[in-house]
Structure 1
Amino acid sequence: MAKRKIPDILTLEEQNRLLSQFNCRYLCPQRNKMMIRLFLDSGLRLSEMLNLKWKNINLLTGNLKVVEGKGNKDRILWVNDHALDMLKNWRERQVEEIGRVELVFTTRKGTQLNPRDIRQMVSTYSKKAGIEKKVSPHSFRHTFASDLLRANNNIRKVQKALGHTDLSTTMIYTHIVDEELENDLKSFRE
């Protein structure tokens, strides 16, 4: 079996630099920032993000239901208070400027976004933030998984959050944490 490539992930500093690039006085930058924040805080796939509906988010509890993710599987996630506040603000602005729509993220006309346009937006803003890695929406998923594993040290919880059926798919993230452990141990008590 071929060894899987360890995915590129964003450091916390890179995440913050990226999120600071958006001028939220304007509708589309606010939407784009919200999307990236939600990618980083939930591990959603691009297709799941583009198909996310308001009826599947509880704006009081932060409960987010992914309906028919990869493999037509549903899963439940929760978002933190900061992301929840951003979602509430986005909802108000979307209703005000676009109208009541079913999808959480839409074009100015209220239609579904094109995945290619989102990939391009992520690339553009990443370069603007001075991030030299190749950044894609899937990079955010990898970053989420690595950060979650680092925070809770529980591969099964990461597996569940990502919606992986097979634990071996999730195990790629242990290599990232192992590299960090190696660096920590090498510099321990120097």
Structure 2
Amino acid sequence: MQATSGTRFEDRRDHAMISLLLDGGLRISEPANLQVVDVDLDVFDAVPVTGKGGKARAVQFDAKAGKALERYLRERRSNKAAGTTEALWLGQRGALSFWGVEERLKVRAAQAGVENLRAHRFRHTVAADVL
């Protein structure tokens, strides 16, 4: 994920977001709905998500994704929008919506030279890895 390897706030956020999408095979709406309190890296290696049909489940992530989340959370604390919302993912004007998460994925895919990337492809990747 060289497209997100920088040290700027956006790099850290996008790297953590993509790591979680890829590691957990999340639907695009699931990370968009996460709150800061959902991520407790001292106790858990999973985040609670509510999926299709209102079904709740815990989605595990590996150490790399955990480290990416830890770096992002450190950067998030100093973001000016951090005090205005408990949403995990912050943009320039506050919480990132579903569309904001999708847009960040498109931007990073374009930077990496990957065409037509959608979060659902990550779900397929996770399923193939499990099998």
Which TM-score band (shorter chain)?
Answer: 0.7 to 0.9
Q: CA deviation at 1:57?
A: 2.3
- Of structures 1 and 2, the one with the larger relative CO (CA 8 A, separation 6+) is 2
Is 1:115 aligned to residue 98 of structure 2?
yes
1:116-160, CA deviations, whole angstroms, 9 ceiling, x for partnerless residues?
A: 34333323322332334x2112222222222222xxxxxxxxxxx
Q: CA deviation at 1:44?
A: 1.2
Task: Give the match's secondary structure for 2:64.
Answer: helix
Question: What does residue 124 of structure 1 align with?
Answer: 107
Quote the Cα distance in structure 2 between the aligned partners of 1:118 and 1:135.
13
Q: CA deviation at 1:23?
A: 4.7
Question: What does residue 137 of structure 1 align with?
Answer: 119
Quote the Cα distance in structure 2 between the aligned partners of 1:33 and 1:139.
17
Q: How many residues of Structure 1 are paired with residues of Structure 2 in the alignment?
A: 128
Quote the Cα distance in structure 1 between the aligned partners of 2:75 and 2:51.
27
Contact residue 15 and residue 68 of structure 2 kept, 8 A: no
Is 1:77 aligned to residue 59 of structure 2?
yes
Greater C-alpha Rg = 1
Quote the Cα distance in structure 2 between the aligned partners of 1:106 and 1:80.
22
- AA at the equivalent of 1:24: G
Normalised to the residue count of structure 2, the TM-score between the two structures is: 0.83
1:65-121, CA deviations, whole angstroms, 9 ceiling, x for partnerless residues?
A: 11x321011101221111111111111110122334412112133x22133343333
Q: Which runs of 4+ in 1 moved over 3 A?
A: none
Quote the Cα distance in structure 2 between the aligned partners of 1:70 and 1:56.
18
Normalised to the residue count of structure 1, the TM-score between the two structures is: 0.60
Gaps in structure 1 of 5+ consecutive residues = 1-18, 150-190
1:70–1:129 distance in 2 versus 1, CA, 3 Å: same
Alignment of 1:37-186 (within 5 A): 37-60=19-42, 61-66=44-49, 68-98=50-80, 99-100=82-83, 101-109=85-93, 111-132=94-115, 134-149=116-131
Q: CA deviation at 1:49?
A: 0.7
Gaps in structure 2 of 5+ consecutive residues = none
Instruction: Work out the percentage of aligned pairs sharing the same amino acid.
Output: 27
